[in-house]
Chains A and B, each alone.
Chain A
Amino acid sequence: MGAVTQARDIKEIEAQLTKADQIAIISCNTCVRFCGTGGVDKLDELAHRLRMDGFSVSDQILVTAACVRDYTERSRLSSGITKVIALTCDGGWTSIKQALPNVEVIKGNETLGIMIVSPSKGVVKLMKTFEAYNNRVGDEFRLLTGEPETERVINLEVEK
């Protein structure tokens, strides 16, 4: 499937923006949606929050998977965009940077590692992590919200 992500603190994101910026947000409708960190609802939520905080969000773009560069290349930003927020995993963030080399691209999420998913159990499980998240291998999250599970749902042992 793909990457497990968690949302960055809004204050960290806002610290990388200015009130003069024209902002676009690009999100995926696959992995990040399953993690509750992207998709159309989170795109709307972040845009609304930024506007409420006085920032100018011009574009909200939903792509199937930003890690497919053909999608990010065709995202047709409005003229004058100065910052793009990637509400994606780090793969999507990199793809957007490659496709839009003249615009600063800010991470909207942190990427923890890769997942398995069980729709019937409503859970995403973190299987293999980037170093900063090695202590979280095996963690489970509610599908679509990303809320941490308090009890083990998938009894699959993962080597820490």
Chain B
Amino acid sequence: MIISLRKLTYEELKNQLSKEDKIVVWACNNCVKFCDKFGGRETMNNLAEKLKTDGYNVVRRELIGMSCVLDLVHLRAIEEATKKTFEEATVIIPLTCEDGYENLKYIFKDKKIIDVPKTIGLGILSTEWHTLRLSIPFEETGLKPPAEGMTLESAAKQLGIYAGPF
């Protein structure tokens, strides 16, 4: 599975939003759910609630199987159930990997897609750990995981970014 971390703190995320924005919180329900709950339904709902509490206009929460499947992203732009909301939205917050982020930029060209994810390599999921561990990092990260894999918290710390939900 793909391992993704979070580039922004919640405060940094808010700095990229305005109270006039119509915000979609968008989350995959696959790899990122297992990245210390960076994505998935619970994280998506919690972020949406947090933003609402802070006075932001969250117009939709969109849970998708995998945002790296371009067709699934495109369907949101054209299907009757979602088309209007996405036409009106101004900002999408992706709780996805970088592939999902790229697909969102491609499909929703007129929206501001917040640059949240940092994808750092491939990892292994075990119910023993209840999460993913990094095993095959992209060389650009400089990370050197041990044989049993690296926790995402440790990877994030070494990279100066964040693991898990906002």
B71 touches A118 (CB 8 A): yes
Chain B proximity mask over A23-61: 1 for CB below 8 Å, otherwise 0: 000000000000000000000000000000000000000
Q: How far is the CB of A76 from chain B (nearest CB, A)?
A: 17
Give how many B residues have a beta carbon under 8 Å from the other chain's beta carbons: 30
B99 touches A68 (CB 8 A): no
User: Does the CB pair B124–A91 fall under 8 Å?
Assistant: yes
Per DSSP, chain B at the interface is mixed
The answer to whether the Cβ of B139 comes within 8 Å of any Cβ in the partner chain is yes
Name the distance in Å between A70's Cβ and chain B's nearest Cβ.
5
**Residue A15 at the chain B interface, CB threshold 8 Å:** no
Q: Which B residues touch A127, using CB under 8 A?
A: 98-99, 102
Residues in B lying within 8 Å of A, measured CB to CB: 1-2, 31, 66, 68-71, 97-99, 102-103, 106, 119, 122-128, 135-136, 138-140, 147-149
With a 10 A CB-CB cut-off, give which of B122, B127, B148, B149 has the most chain A CB atoms. B122
From A1, A65, A70, A128, contact of B127 by CB (8 A): A70
With A65-B1, A67-B1, A127-B98 given, is the CB distance from A91 to B70 under 8 Å? no
Complex Cα gap A116–B106 (Å): 12
The 8 lowest CB-CB distance pairs between A and B, nearest first, are A91-B122, A69-B126, A118-B70, A1-B68, A94-B135, A131-B139, A95-B124, A90-B136
CB nearest neighbor in A for B120: A128
A116 and B138 within 8 A (CB): no
Say how far B151's CB is from chain A's closest CB, in angstroms: 15
Q: Which residues of A contact B99 (CB under 8 A)?
A: 1, 114-116, 127-128
Are A128 and B119 touching (Cβ within 8 A)?
Answer: yes
Do B119 and A1 have beta carbons less than 8 Å apart? no
Are B102 and A111 in contact (CB-based, < 8 A)? no
